[in-house]
Amino acid sequence: SQTIHQWPATLVQPVGSPLSLECTVEGTSNPNLYWYRQAAGRGLQLLFYSVGIGQISSEVPQNLSASRPQDRQFILSSKKLLLSDSGFYLCARKGFNEQFFGPGTRLTVL
């Protein structure tokens, strides 16, 4: 079966601290991968997508970055967190024409 893991599940970080969120996918090779953010009470915002190792496309300007060091690994990073970075971060992979989502990481920046 194809499974998406996200780590950590929850995170509380101070403003100005670095960030690293990890997404790993099992059961498929070279999937298209996506990072979304969901702010409290709001819809989903696509942040980054990747069609392969080392290939990253950014959808919105921000202080976040993404990397894909391995086929099934997608990492979301920041050098200095802002209060506005708080939210629920979701990783997804492409299916046939739909997307399948991981369990998410709840990030609170204080």
Instruction: State the residues that interact with other proteins by CB under 8 A.
Output: 6, 32, 34, 42-44, 46, 49, 51, 57, 90, 92, 94, 97-104, 106
Q: Tell me whether residue 18 or residue 102 sits nearer to other proteins (CB atom).
A: 102
Residues in the chain, how many?
Answer: 110
> How near is the Cβ of 80 to other proteins at its closest, in Å?
27
Contact (Cβ atoms closer than 8 angstroms) between residue 35 and residue 103? no
> How near is the Cβ of 62 to other proteins at its closest, in Å?
17
Q: Tell me whether residue 9 or residue 14 sits nearer to other proteins (CB atom).
A: 9
Distances in Å between the alpha carbon of 16 and those of 28, 38, 88?
A: 36, 21, 19
> How near is the Cβ of 38 to other proteins at its closest, in Å?
8
Q: Cβ neighbours of residue 42 under 8 Å, at least 6 residues apart?
A: none
Q: Tell me whether residue 18 or residue 103 sits nearer to other proteins (CB atom).
A: 103
Q: Tell me whether residue 23 or residue 64 sits nearer to other proteins (CB atom).
A: 23
